Amino acid sequence: MPKSQSKITLTILLLIVLSVLTNCAHTSINPEHQSIHEIVTKANSDFYLDKRIWYQNVHAEIEGQTITLKGEAFFSIPVRGIQRKLKKAGYEYELIDSVHYLPEDFTDDLAYGIVSVPYVMGRYKPVDKKQEGTEMLYGEPVRLIREKGDYVQVQSNIGYLGFIKKNTIRPVTLKEWSRYHTGAQAIFSQNVTLESGQVLAMGTRLPYLGNENILLADGTELSLPQDNYRVYDPTTNPLRDSIIESAEQYLGLPYVWGGRSSEGVDCSGFVMQSYALNNIYIPRDSDEIANIGRIIGYPGWMDAMLPGDMMFFAGSRRMVTHTALYMGDGKVIHSLGKGVQIQSMNPQDPDFSEGLTKRFIFAKRLFD
């Protein structure tokens, strides 16, 4: 190609590129679409502040008169809240929920795990170094979230999310997992090396089976003298009854936003005061309280819960919007609506609350 023709061709191409860039610069952003994205983004930021424990990362894809919500989330209630916010803002689009909900499904119902090494660092990304979250100790029960190569993301019993190597846990079913939550616990106050060479680090807690027998992380039982650990049985702690008795003193009081007095209480003020009357001081708001203690219950798994355990419920505005106290036998005492009341999560009870049951997301235990 002659040089003059090559220059002409190059000039034409440059003019075309310049024209495209100019048109893009002058193309205005669709204000309606921008508003939709802003609503979704704000909903994510309002969802929950502590991404070490839970997160929601939802975004909108808009095509014609259809909005498809995509991304990741742990609970559907706040996502449905996004849909309501969009409709309230006047966007009468078709809404499709294509969000990827966690935890993922695992084969053979092996969706839980028991840490099988003395300790392992949970990291926020599937890497061997940096990104440290929190360590998990031998025998600690964890919930599996998702697999990623040689790693699995888990949620520790204090709630922290972290990636660990697959070979550091024993995958188990819910039934086996429950054994590590219920009954008496042997808590080690010093490092102990077993005859097998297995190290039980200080702070390790394992199910105590009685007669100086403990349940190891591999599912086997071991006889070990009790001078190596202390035994706690949460079912016999009189503090539980005392907290529930304190809570029942508030029955009938009206719901008062920000209230903590005998004139009325809000949900977190009620839980806070029920504990404070027993010399246990916890944070003020529901989402702050949700950060303390260890997880002891999930939807569909309340077998390990005991009276006095704290319960948390999702809302459409953010994840944790309500807290209550568990009374046992599926019953819940809390401050909501008309005031402090007792309701049940057992469908057979006359005071069964379907709404409360659907909103329940987890329970935590602060003491043994």
Per the structure block, which two tokens stand in for 269? Answer: 């003020």
- The predicted pLDDT at position 365 comes to 96
Quickly count: other Cβ atoms within 10 Å of residue 30's Cβ: 11
Q: Using one digit for the tens of pLDDT, what is the confidence trace for 63-107?
A: 999 999 999 998 888 898 899 999 999 998 999 999 999 999 999
Entry pTM = 0.85
Name the pLDDT band for 45 (thresholds 50, 70, 90): confident
Q: Is residue 15 over pLDDT 60?
A: no
CATH of domain 236-365: 3.90.1720.10
Helix H or strand E segment including 246: helix 238-248
- The predicted pLDDT at position 14 comes to 59
Name the pLDDT band for 26 (thresholds 50, 70, 90): very low
User: CATH 3.90.1720.10 residue ranges in the chain?
Assistant: 236-365
- The predicted pLDDT at position 27 comes to 45
Residue 311 C-alpha from the chain's centroid:
12
Q: Is residue 161 over pLDDT 50?
A: yes
Which of 250, 324, 264 shows the shortest CA–CA distance to 289?
324
- The predicted pLDDT at position 46 comes to 78
CATH 3.30.70.600 assigned to 107-232: no
16 vs 80, residue with greater confidence: 80
Residue 215 φ/ψ, nearest 5 degrees? -100, 120
Report the alpha-carbon angle 35-38-43, nearest 5. 130
User: CATH 2.30.30.40 residue ranges in the chain?
Assistant: 107-232
- The predicted pLDDT at position 210 comes to 96
Q: Using one digit for the tens of pLDDT, what is the confidence trace for 169-220?
A: 999 999 999 999 999 999 999 999 999 999 999 999 999 999 999 999 999 9
Q: Is residue 7 over pLDDT 70?
A: no
- Which amino acids are annotated catalytic? 267, 322, 334
Lowest mean pLDDT among 55-59, 69-73, 231-235: 55-59
d(CA 133, CA 160): 7
Name the pLDDT band for 54 (thresholds 50, 70, 90): confident
Lowest mean pLDDT among 44-53, 186-195, 220-229, 305-314: 44-53
- The predicted pLDDT at position 43 comes to 87
